[in-house]
Amino acid sequence: MNISNDLESNSSEEMDSWISQYCSIFGHDYFVEVAPEFIEDDFNLTGLSSVVPFYREALDVILDLEPEVPIKVSNVPLVEHAAQLLYGLIHARFILTKQGYHLMAEKYEQKVFGTCPRYYCEGMRLIPIGRYDQTGIETVRLYCPCCNDIYLPSSSRYLNIDGAFFGTSFAGLFIKMFPEIERQCQQRLNKQYELKLFGFRINERAASGPRMKWLRQVPRTKEEIEEFDKCEFELPQDDYREDTERDEHDGSESVMSIAQEEEEQ
């Protein structure tokens, strides 16, 4: 696979294809080069013709094909723009394939997408993400798998890249495909800054208190993991039965007490 990749990149460099040119533009280093075979398969482009104007022409531009009908000079900028849009949408699909996310993994390893600015994330690498799969809504954001938050790219040169060119699903798939990322997160997860006043911890209910602490708490011991699994995937049976039984017996009382409370108010 590596050999074929090398051959591809070499040949594309020699030909200076539209794809490699586009990806080497300043500020386009988040993009990987989509394999031409992926674009040539119509199945992978399903539905895109209704979203992208000048679809045929744009596709020819991306694949460096001569258009069947010459493009009007006045339409050339529109077709170029459409080609960029189409490439972005194809890119969002390509990075969900094995070849695609492996190419993205190389960039991730090289910290192309940057690292998390949160101190306790200890330089965790970021993953590009779009909050929407539709284009034109929001530019690309960066997701930190450790603090589960998103950030703006540190440089303004990435602020005109559409988030839909990476999509909502990529980050989730990427983390699942590379368990090493989850392991790295586990090492960092429990560290959280706690504000103190003259050495005393601030009450959680105070405005400056450490709220939402539970967000970064993960089960660690065997018992905690079991408890976590139970409350996530099933109702705690014993408690549930007790509650329902109590409701059956005391149903009238509880209704009464609610009515009384309402009256008192």
What are the residues binding Zn ion (CB under 5 A)? 116, 118, 121, 144, 146-147
Q: How many other C-beta atoms can be found within 10 angstroms of the C-beta atom of residue 16? A: 11
Q: Which residues contact 148 (CB under 8 A, 6 or more apart)?
A: 215
Are 145 and 185 spatial neighbours (Cβ–Cβ below 8 Å)? yes
The residue to which tokens 């408890």 are assigned: 227
Coil, strand, or helix at residue 139? Answer: strand
In terms of CB distance, is 182 or 245 closer to Zn ion? Answer: 182
CB of 145 to Zn ion, least distance (A): 8
Helix (H, G, I), strand (E, B) or coil at 170: helix
Comparing CB distances to Zn ion, the nearer of 34 and 146 is 146
How far apart, in whole angstroms, are the C-alpha atoms of residue 126 and residue 146?
Answer: 9
Q: How far is the CB of 95 from Zn ion (least distance, A)?
A: 21
Q: How far is the CB of 264 from Zn ion (least distance, A)?
A: 48
Q: How far is the CB of 195 from Zn ion (least distance, A)?
A: 19
Q: How far is the CB of 124 from Zn ion (least distance, A)?
A: 5
**Angstrom distance (rounded) from CA 152 to CA 161:** 12
- Helix (H) / strand (E) containing 243: helix 237-264
35 vs 121, beta carbon nearer Zn ion: 121
Rg (C-alpha) for the chain, rounded Å, is: 26
Q: Which is nearer to Zn ion, 36 or 172 (CB)?
A: 172
Closest among 105, 126, 128 to 115, alpha carbons compared = 126
Minimum separation from the CB atom of position 187 to Zn ion (A): 13
What are phi and psi for residue 131, nearest 5 degrees?
-80, -15
Is residue 159 within 8 A of residue 149, CB to CB? The reply is: no
Nearest CB to Zn ion, comparing residues 86 and 144: 144
* Beta carbons of 136 and 162 less than 8 angstroms apart: yes
Query: Least distance in Å: CB of 121 to Zn ion?
Result: 3
Q: How far is the CB of 28 from Zn ion (least distance, A)?
A: 25
Give the whole-angstrom CA distance, residue 145 versus residue 234. Answer: 26
Give the nearer residue to Zn ion in terms of CB position, either 38 or 151. 151
Q: Where are the alpha helices (DSSP H) in the chain?
A: 2-15, 18-24, 36-40, 55-62, 76-94, 98-109, 170-177, 179-188, 222-233, 237-264
Query: 59 or 147: whose CB is closer to Zn ion?
Result: 147
Q: Which is nearer to Zn ion, 48 or 150 (CB)?
A: 150
